[in-house]
Amino acid sequence: MTRDELMETRKWLKRYRNMKQELAARTKNYDEFVQEIYNPLCSPKLDGMPRGSTTTDQTAATVEQIHKEYGEILKLLERKMEALRDAIKEIEDTIGQLDADERCVLYHRYILGIYWANLPAYINYDERQCRRIEKRALKKVWEKHVQQCPTWIW
């Protein structure tokens, strides 16, 4: 495994925490956007109250107009969030397929973001052994996943 391949694999795994933060931010933004569209006055929902059933009803006409105006924007936001969820799940699944030691090192290092100096306290190996395990795991990740899917590079 070349140094470039090793660095590319690390870069791919390091994106995990950024993607999680971006997904949380996008989800919050989406929820606020939907709240602003459908309930701009922040009035309480009165479930159980009679609702209009035809498009001649003013409420139904307003909702249809909102769907026409903002439907594409909402779909675009949903697609972006789904793409992030898929990328996050791909990294989690990739790490989950490794041996126990390899999975433990990559999980602590890339998912939790533990520094090398602190890693031995979590997994009971010294730092040098952790680095060897990480290198072996990165080689497997490269061969099974990153090498086959060059579209992961954003």
Residue 5 has pLDDT above 70, yes or no: yes
Long-range residue pairs from 6-12, CB within 8 A, at least 24 positions apart, any chain: 6/135, 6/138, 6/139, 6/142, 8/142, 8/146, 8/153, 9/138, 9/141, 9/142, 9/146, 10/138, 12/91, 12/141, 12/146, 12/152, 12/153
Residue 133 has pLDDT above 90, yes or no: yes
Which pLDDT score is estimated for 50? 62
Rounded mean pLDDT of the chain? 84
Highest mean pLDDT among 2-6, 24-28, 34-38: 24-28
Which pLDDT score is estimated for 11? 92
Tell me the pLDDT tens digit for each residue of 35-81. 887 766 655 555 556 655 554 556 667 767 777 788 888 899 999 99
Q: Are 77 and 33 in contact (CB under 8 A)?
A: yes
Cα 145–chain centre separation: 18
Residue 154 has pLDDT above 50, yes or no: no
Neighbours of 100 (CB within 10 A): 7
d(CA 144, CA 121): 29
Q: Average pLDDT of 113-124?
A: 90
Which pLDDT score is estimated for 45? 56
